[in-house]
Amino acid sequence: MHTKHEITRRSALLAGPGALLAAYSRRSTFGGVALGIQTRSFKDRPLDEAIAAMSLIGFGSCELSGTHVEPQTPPAGGLRQWRLTVPLDLFATAGEKLRQAGIEPLFLTYNLSATSSEAEIARGFEMAKALGATAISSSTKLNVVPAIDAVAKRYKMRVGLHNHSIIRAGEITTPDDFAEALRGRSEYIAVTLDIGHFTAAGFDPALWFRQHHRDVISLHIKDRKKDEGPPVPFGEGDTPIDQVLRYTRENARDIPALIEYEYDAGDRVAEIRKCFDYCKNVLSS
């Protein structure tokens, strides 16, 4: 039996990415699950070339990484100043390019530090709206979540808190960290569950996802070994990719599964195509 809070959160999440999946992601939807990509997977090339590669493989949706829109070398005045002053046309143009290629930018990556200001947080929502995204995915710190929530409620846009694998105070890594991050927050605060990092940190993403998928706005799909092990080709690590994807297909089709390529095996396009085919086969079987 779900609590009123869970039902409210679920309703809010369903109103976002899920509303776009049927319209924009048919060519990369398998078993009812949108199979997209985190564009950081193509961090070795500029956005135009990344879009061409994503289109070639067949992706229909993505999370646009800061790798493809933010400066890669520290700008004069620092990244915060750049964020506060960059023309929003940069993001509108990126969104147009993606959609012209048949790729819907469902999410914008907007990572925030422990000292991020209210103005910097708000600017991320402006960027996401200009892009045409429905939500933000953010790697951040626990102490920043209340401020993110306050701004998210103002913009009425969800934020998925992205987990990493380092366990230390202030990080969002463990099941307890997720619980603390969500406790007392509005329905606009959710989780971007990185199943590879969760595995490397020593936890079972399939189990946690089954228990908490109503708090998840998207999945980052990668394979890693336990005990802070490295990223490896799909099917060669300890991450229960198959279990998570099948559960998504059967119980949570509104949650996009986004491939994030991190191992190094030569031809990046060929390897990401293997990742795509692996997930497609699981979802279609």
pLDDT in tens, 229-250: 999 999 999 999 999 999 999 9
Indicate if the pLDDT at residue 6 is higher than 70.
Answer: no
Task: Name every residue whose Cβ is closer than 8 Å to that of residue 22 and which is 6 or more positions away in sequence.
Answer: 29
pLDDT of residue 168: 96
What are the extents of the domains in the chain? Answer: 4-284
Q: How far apart, in whole angstroms, are the C-alpha atoms of residue 235 and residue 247?
A: 17
Give the pTM: 0.91
Q: What is the maximum span of the chain, computed from C-alpha positions, in angstroms?
A: 53
* Element spanning 40, H or E: none
pLDDT of residue 11: 46
162: left (phi over 0), alpha (psi -120 to 50) or beta: beta
Q: What spatial distance separates the first Cα and last Cα of the chain, rounded to whole Å?
A: 30
Closest Cα partner for 134 from 161, 160, 107, 104?
107
32-42: pLDDT as tens digits: 999 999 999 99
Q: How far apart, in whole angstroms, are the C-alpha atoms of residue 24 and residue 19?
A: 10
- For 11-25, 26-40, 80-94, which range has the lowest pLDDT when averaged over its residues? 11-25
Fold of the 4-284 domain: TIM Barrel (3.20.20)
192-243: pLDDT as tens digits: 999 999 999 999 999 999 999 999 999 999 999 999 999 999 999 999 999 9
- CB atoms < 10 A from the CB of 243, how many? 17
pLDDT of residue 141: 98
